[in-house]
């Protein structure tokens, strides 16, 4: 395995894109506030096109974007942060040799957008409790994963998001970072089959 030296620390070259994106993400998030919706995210008010999974066949450069929001009404510290979710997802994506993670979405050919939430369950429609002991029994973890490519160009120069794969869970019963990674790995399994049909 090849390594690079950062000061007195030796780091695997394969992890450098992950580290770079984790460092750039907070700055990029600040820049995104106040801008029009972009193709690499899905907003509640924007229009999303529907595409085909096969449109990913010749795409390699990927932008990874994740969010985590905690709206629980209990006074218990969250075991998860947004950085935890981003790190878990980035680790899964960086393990795929056919993909190149980019820190700038304008250089990406597609994006993996992960939205995670923590809320307090009202207990009316969901079975109480979680599989993870790190979560309070009343905490409900939601995960949404969308794989997007640039869609139709709009008059303001931006492009609509074009959805080619998605999955969601309203009550994952695990910490957000693990649930997000599991769901992203399901996508990556299908992506590998798309790149190498012999794996089907």
pLDDT tens for the chain, residues 1 to 200 = 554 544 445 545 555 555 555 444 544 444 444 455 689 998 766 778 999 999 999 999 999 999 999 998 888 778 788 999 999 999 999 999 999 999 999 999 999 999 999 998 876 555 657 778 778 888 889 999 999 999 999 898 889 999 999 999 999 988 999 999 999 999 999 999 997 766 55
Beta strand segments in 45-91, E? 49-50, 61-70
> Can you spell out the DSSP letters for 111-158?
EEEEEEEEEE--SSSS----S-TTS-TTEEEEEEEEEEEEEEEPTTS-
Supply the pTM of this predicted model. Answer: 0.77
**Cα dihedral 163/55/172/123 (nearest 10):** 30
Burial class for 40, CB neighbours closer than 10 Å (0-12, 13-18, 19+): buried
Provide the 3-class DSSP secondary structure of residue 89.
helix
CA distances from 53 to 36, 90, 111, 122 (A): 26, 21, 13, 36
Half-sphere exposure (Cβ direction) of 186: Cα atoms closer than 13 Å: 14
Of 145, 153, 74, 158, nearest in space to 113 by CA? 145
pLDDT of residue 56: 97
Each domain of the chain, given as residue ranges in start order, spans 17-199
Instruction: Tell me how far apart the alpha carbons of residues 101 and 74 are, in angstroms, rounded to a whole number.
Output: 37
CATH architecture group of domain 17-199: 2-Layer Sandwich (3.30)
């Amino acid at each position: 395995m090849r390594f690079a030296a950062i000061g007195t620390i030796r780091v695997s070259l394969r992890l450098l894109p992950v580290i770079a994106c984790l460092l750039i993400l907070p700055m990029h998030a600040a820049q995104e506030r106040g801008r029009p919706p972009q193709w690499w995210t899905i907003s509640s008010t924007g229009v999303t096109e529907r595409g085909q999974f096969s449109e990913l066949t010749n795409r390699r450069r990927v932008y990874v974007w994740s969010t985590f929001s905690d709206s629980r009404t209990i006074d218990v510290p969250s075991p998860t942060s947004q950085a935890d979710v981003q790190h878990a997802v980035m680790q899964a994506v960086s393990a795929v040799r056919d993909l190149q993670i980019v820190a700038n979405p304008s250089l990406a050919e597609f994006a993996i957008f992960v939205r995670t939430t923590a809320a307090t369950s009202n207990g009316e429609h969901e079975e109480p409790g979680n599989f993870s002991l790190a979560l309070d029994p009343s905490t409900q973890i939601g995960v949404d994963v969308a794989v997007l490519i640039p869609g139709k160009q709009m008059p303001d120069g931006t492009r609509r998001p074009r959805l080619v794969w998605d999955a969601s869970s309203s009550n994952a019963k695990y910490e957000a970072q693990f649930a997000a990674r599991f769901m992203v790995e399901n996508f990556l399994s299908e992506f590998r089959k798309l790149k190498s049909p012999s794996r089907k």
